[in-house]
Amino acid sequence: MVVLRLSFALLLLLNVVFLAYGIPKPDDEENIDGDIPHSPLDHDSDGEKHFEGGHHNKQYDHEAFLGEDEAKSFDQLPPEESKRRLGLIVDRIDDDKDGFVTLSELKRWIEYTQRRYIDEDVNRTWKMHNPDNNDTISWEVYRDNVYGFLDTMDKEEIENDEHSMSFKRLLKRDRRRWGVADKDLDDKLTREEFTAFLHPEDHPTMKDVVLTETIEDIDTDGDGKISVDEYIADMYRNSEPNDEEPEWVKSEREGFAKFRDINGDGFLDREEVRTWIVPKDFDHAESEAKHLVFEADTDDDEKLTKEEILEKYDVFVGSQATDFGEALARHDEF
């Protein structure tokens, strides 16, 4: 059971992290005041959705700003303490110590926290699967650690258990992703290859498999393309079948036709999904930095003082129940 629990945490990490950082929000810049068309980054590992109604996701802001681990620990702090620590962080971000945080200082900070997060995550996961610190991890070892429990169940048992079924699907997905990350085709991953496997977002060679995974997630009828209903279902589900859709869902429907479905055939094909989730020249850190400046720059001088940042401390380090924490808590009975 311990292995299972570890595995689940790992899967959550894999998916949550990947989705938090993996897929940029293409229209962030054009829609900087919060009217951001949805992006698949709002999945969590169960495929449950918690899109915040087309509004910029606060959780996402402070994860970008603090790194996911830090964001979690800030969420436990009382407001006064989190403000105090934010003040200390601001001093660090202000590289040239001129009393202002500029867009480029903020961007560099966000890049740094992301690198640090990925680094720590890879370290942690690498150690977990490779306690001997060998040069590589073999697929069999990884598979046994994460999915080995499936071998102790018979077919029927697996089919009657939703969690086991989702593990089975994840196993297939991991297998494929592993193969793509394995550059020298020895079925073992070096630390570098393992990083690409765990965090494909930064790796150009992983883009296609990421795209495939995203399409599979959203394409529920499996016809290889995404209808407007699948697109909407990915971000919103009626709690009552006859409930009227909220405004933001209607505007997402319009957005589908206007921005996503480029050839106007009513579906998103692979290339249209690619344009949506992996736009060229999109700089995630810059976009996030711009958004934070926009939120906090009260006097419109395009740089932030410590006071301006502390004034909007909830945007930077706001304490909200994290989806991630909830997800972990939910699965803790395992």
Ligand X SMILES: *[C@@H]1O[C@H](CO)[C@@H](O)[C@H](O)[C@H]1NC(C)=O
Q: Which residue ranges make up the site for ligand X (CB under 6 A)?
A: 116, 119-120, 123, 130, 132, 134, 141
**Dihedral angle over CA of 114, 210, 326, 320, nearest 10:** 50
Least distance from ligand X to the Cβ atom of residue 117, Å? 8
Which amino acid type is present at position 40? P
Least distance from ligand X to the Cβ atom of residue 132, Å? 4
Least distance from ligand X to the Cβ atom of residue 120, Å? 4
Judged by beta carbon, residue 191 or residue 270, the one nearer ligand X is 191
Judged by beta carbon, residue 70 or residue 323, the one nearer ligand X is 70
Partnered with residue 226 across adjacent β-strands are 268
CA 94 to chain centre: 27
Q: Is there a contact between 235 and 276 (Cβ–Cβ < 8 Å)?
A: no
Token pair of 256 as six digits: 């589908």
DSSP per-residue codes, 105-169? HHHHHHHHHHHHHHHHHHHHHHHHH-TT--SEEEHHHHHHHHHGGGGGS-HHHHHT-HHHHHHHH
DSSP per-residue codes, 63-91? HHHH-HHHHHHHHTS-HHHHHHHHHHHHH
Specify the pairing of strand 188-190 against strand 101-102.
Answer: unpaired
Least distance from ligand X to the Cβ atom of residue 64, Å? 17
Judged by beta carbon, residue 63 or residue 230, the one nearer ligand X is 63
**Dihedral angle over CA of 160, 164, 170, 172, nearest 10:** -70
* Among 141, 254, 220, residue whose Cα is nearest residue 187: 141
Least distance from ligand X to the Cβ atom of residue 170, Å? 21
Least distance from ligand X to the Cβ atom of residue 86, Å? 21
Judged by beta carbon, residue 76 or residue 134, the one nearer ligand X is 134
Judged by beta carbon, residue 3 or residue 165, the one nearer ligand X is 3
* Among 145, 131, 142, 198, residue whose Cα is nearest residue 3: 145
Burial 218-232 (b: 16+ CB within 10 A, else e): bbeeeeebbbbebbb
Judged by beta carbon, residue 5 or residue 116, the one nearer ligand X is 116
Judged by beta carbon, residue 82 or residue 130, the one nearer ligand X is 130
Q: Is there a contact between 49 and 236 (Cβ–Cβ < 8 Å)?
A: yes
Least distance from ligand X to the Cβ atom of residue 222, Å? 36
Judged by beta carbon, residue 285 or residue 296, the one nearer ligand X is 285
Least distance from ligand X to the Cβ atom of residue 280, Å? 30
